[in-house]
Amino acid sequence: MKRTPLYEKHRELGGKMIAFGGWELPVQYTGILEEHRQVRTAAGLFDVSHMGEILVRGKDSERFLQKMLTNNISGVKDHRVVYSPMCYPDGGVVDDLLVYKYSDREYFVVVNAGNTDKSFDWLRQNLEGETTIENVSSNYAQLALQGPKSGQILQKCTDFPIEEIQFFHFIPDTEICGKKAIVSKTGYTGEEGFEIYMKVEDATVVWDGLMLAGREEGLVPAGLGARDTLRFEAALPLYGQEISEDISPLEAGLEKFVKLGKEDFIGKDALLQQQNQGVKRKLTGFEMLDRGVPRSHYEVHANGKKIGFVTSGSFSPSLNKNLGLALLDVDYQKEGTTIDIIIRNKVLKAKTVKIPFYTKKYKA
Amino acid sequence: MKVVKGLWYSKDHEWVRLDGNKAYIGITDHAQLSLGDVVFVELPEMGTVLQADDVLGVVESVKAASDVYTPISGTVVEVNEELSAHPEKLNEDPYESWIAVLEPDDPSKIEELMDDAEYEKFCAEEA
């Protein structure tokens, strides 16, 4: 099991350590509900050093990534971040990733911890032209500072004018708490926030500096538990649940990130066919009407027959309801449809609702 | 971790308090600490006849669902409906927040469970 450079820090802070994607990470410090609410109202700091980083370089980098990704990175300005699924020829998802564009010859690609080796191998197998790839995961630590107070806190740790960083943009080379860092306005919480990449040996200094800077604002360390409930309320997909080798990005409702109009990319034919014929199942949000908490893999029925399964489910701390995401037969995805969730052999009523469940209300 | 004198404890981290012919059953402080924030409690049906180690109910934290077992055999005669609306009581005050009351088949069997000192030792060894 791998440990991040902040492992000792998490232990000192009372973090309850669990295994995730081959890493030992804190699921919570004080409690998932409190950490969740603190991120929604103030700010939370997450150690996400388990995420993988891959450098793609060379004059054919753009052409290569255009072939690998479903989203379009051609014409994207430098220092922008692009989210994209990466598919197999059959439309199943290898991984979903963030692409940081330095220039059309250099990209920094962030992949899921549990998929790092798989994604790197897939990229390597399909390499073409004058392109090199390098797995630089072990060089980087990553922190996510998330919440409405995150900008204010981050500003205390850098001379760079933080308010100038727009959503899904990044600063390639700045200093945070005196350490070189890449800072992007991105996150996985549905809240305003930043992700900060730094050298492994600088992680504790940056962590301590941010925690100290955020004391007045109510910054708390937050674990994987809150990260999951936060991303769930925002209906951000989790690899292995909403998307997987068996669930295509179109089924998962990620059409915005699948550019079927661009030149060939891996999975295009299969996805085009799905689009033309219409997907048979689609990710749908639901709210429990009966008492019960839906969980991954629970069956969903209607009129006694199986119409799909739950991909993620939880008590929603922000909305105070039991909610779920399910991959359902398209006939049942209309908002307000009554469905049955099978929980421990009991048939419990739910109704389909709009996703995301939670949308950040930005200041006007 | 808090352990209360006068209660009986199971290896699955349930407690039992005997009061006349009523056995109050709940989960221990150790159990609620390892579960984390409890967001849902499924109570048994009144009148259910249970054997020792049968599932008495289900406690769900944010992350997962866990079965609660009855350490003794008996019939469910009361359920704590307050926990349906306020599952967080299991975190706040685990030894007052009983889940159900059983009328035990054989109250003397309770003494086969661990007392507070034995349970404390059990938890220390398990850690």
Task: Report all structural domains of chain B as residue ranges with CATH numbers, in order of start.
Answer: 8-107 (2.40.50.100)
Chain A, 91-150: which have a CB under 8 Å from a chain B CB?
none
Q: What is the pLDDT of residues A271-302, one digit of tens each?
A: 999 999 999 999 999 999 999 999 999 999 99
Residues A222 and A284 in one domain: no
Least Cα separation, residue B37 to chain A (angstroms): 6
Please name the member of B37, B65, B84 whose beta carbon is closest to the beta carbon of A31.
B37
Residue A164 lies in a domain: yes
- Per-residue pLDDT at A331: 96
Least Cα separation, residue A229 to chain B (angstroms): 8
- Per-residue pLDDT at A26: 98
- Per-residue pLDDT at B127: 76
Residue A246 lies in a domain: no
Alpha helices in chain A, H assignment, sequence order: 7-12, 32-41, 61-68, 116-125, 150-155, 203-213, 224-233, 268-277
pLDDT tops 80 at residue A186: yes
Antiparallel, parallel or unpaired: β B38-42 and B55-61: antiparallel
In a structure prediction context, what are the per-residue pLDDT tens digits for chain B, which is 127 residues long?
899 999 999 999 999 999 999 999 999 999 999 999 999 999 999 999 999 999 999 999 999 999 999 999 999 999 999 999 999 999 999 999 999 999 999 999 999 999 999 999 999 998 7
Q: What is the pLDDT of residues B94-127, one digit of tens each?
A: 999 999 999 999 999 999 999 999 999 999 998 7
List the domain range (segments joined by +) for residue A287: 280-364
Residues on chain B touching A33 (C-beta within 8 angstroms): 37, 39, 62
Q: Is A292 on the interface with B (CB under 8 A)?
A: yes
Compute the distance between CA of residue A294 and CA of residue A315 in angstroms, rounded to an integer: 8
Terminal-to-terminal C-alpha distance of chain A: 45
Residues A148 and A229 in one domain: yes
ipTM of the complex model: 0.89
Tokens of A294: 């839906």
Judge contact between A349 and A289, C-beta under 8 A.
yes
* Predicted TM-score of the model (pTM): 0.95
> CATH number of the domain that A180 lies in?
3.30.1360.120
3-state secondary structure of A299: strand
- Per-residue pLDDT at A361: 73
**Interhelix angle A224-233/A32-41, nearest 10 degrees:** 60
**For chain A, how many structural domains are there in total?**
2
- Per-residue pLDDT at A364: 42
Residue A240 lies in a domain: no
Compute the distance between CA of residue B46 and CA of residue B55 in angstroms, rounded to an integer: 14
Residue A6 lies in a domain: yes
Query: What single letter denotes the amino acid at residue B31?
Result: A
Give the end of a domain, one of A175, A198, A233.
A233
Cβ distance A32 to B63 less than 8 Å, yes or no, reads yes
Residues A142 and A23 in one domain: yes
Give the end of a domain, one of A204, A233, A262.
A233
Name the β-bridge partners of B67.
Answer: B58
> CATH number of the domain that A316 lies in?
2.40.30.110
Confidence of residue A362 (pLDDT cuts 50, 70, 90): low
- Per-residue pLDDT at A363: 53
Q: What is the pLDDT of residues A58-93, one digit of tens each?
A: 999 999 999 999 999 999 999 999 999 999 999 999
DSSP string, B18-84: EETTEEEEEE-HHHHHHH-SEEEEEPPPTT-EE-TTSEEEEEEESS-EEEEE-SS-EEEEEE-THHH
- Per-residue pLDDT at A360: 86
Antiparallel, parallel or unpaired: β A81-87 and A281-288: unpaired
